[in-house]
């Protein structure tokens, strides 16, 4: 199941609105390119058609995601429980290294944050969801089974 925070849902809804508004712009580009003549060797036409296909695929994907996602209600989450939007300090019990992770429904893809984003449907995300400070969770990572201790939760 795909969980989203309210902010993530809003962001995806805004992106969908933008993509839908782009339909007219792309359609106009296709029309203008058509007027240039021979479509076989018309790079503008083919580029606009590719953009149209890409835009429509993204619209379809976003509509499907929004229709099937659950917006997590964080209002009644008890203190000390990991939930969407929580920033968690974890300690890898094998390497003794600590790191900060934020449990998200969708990754922003940003690498300049002071924490790493972990999606709720990833192996680590599913393991820490609803866990508490002091809990130890086991995760099957590509490097093998790894145990993490939850040191703290920031909201």
CATH class of 3-71: mainly alpha
For 61-117, the pLDDT digits (tens) are 999 988 988 887 666 667 778 888 889 999 999 899 999 998 888 776 667 778 888
3-71 and 87-154 share one fold: no
Parallel, antiparallel, or unpaired: how do β-strands 144-154 and 87-92 relate? antiparallel
DSSP code per residue over 70-110? EE---TTPPTTB--TT-EEEEEETTT--EEEEEEESS----
Give the global pTM: 0.64
Domain regions of the chain by residue span = 3-71, 87-154
Architecture of domain 87-154: Roll (3.10)
Give the per-residue pLDDT at 78: 72
- Classify strands 3-4 and 98-104 as parallel, antiparallel or unpaired: unpaired
């Amino acid at each position: 199941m795909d969980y989203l925070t309210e902010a993530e849902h809003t962001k995806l809804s805004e992106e969908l609105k933008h993509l839908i508004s782009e339909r007219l712009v792309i359609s106009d580009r296709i029309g203008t390119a058509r007027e240039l003549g021979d479509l076989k060797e018309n790079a503008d036409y083919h580029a606009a058609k590719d953009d149209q296909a890409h835009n429509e695929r993204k619209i379809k994907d976003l509509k499907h995601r929004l229709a099937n996602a659950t917006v997590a209600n964080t209002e009644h989450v008890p203190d000390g429980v990991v939930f969407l939007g929580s920033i968690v300090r974890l300690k890898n019990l094998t390497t003794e290294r600590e790191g900060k992770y934020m449990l998200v429904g969708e990754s922003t893809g940003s690498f300049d944050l002071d924490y790493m984003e972990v999606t709720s449907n990833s192996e680590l995300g599913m393991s820490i969801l609803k866990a508490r400070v002091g809990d130890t969770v086991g995760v099957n990572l590509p490097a093998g089974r790894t145990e993490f201790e939850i040191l703290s939760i920031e909201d």
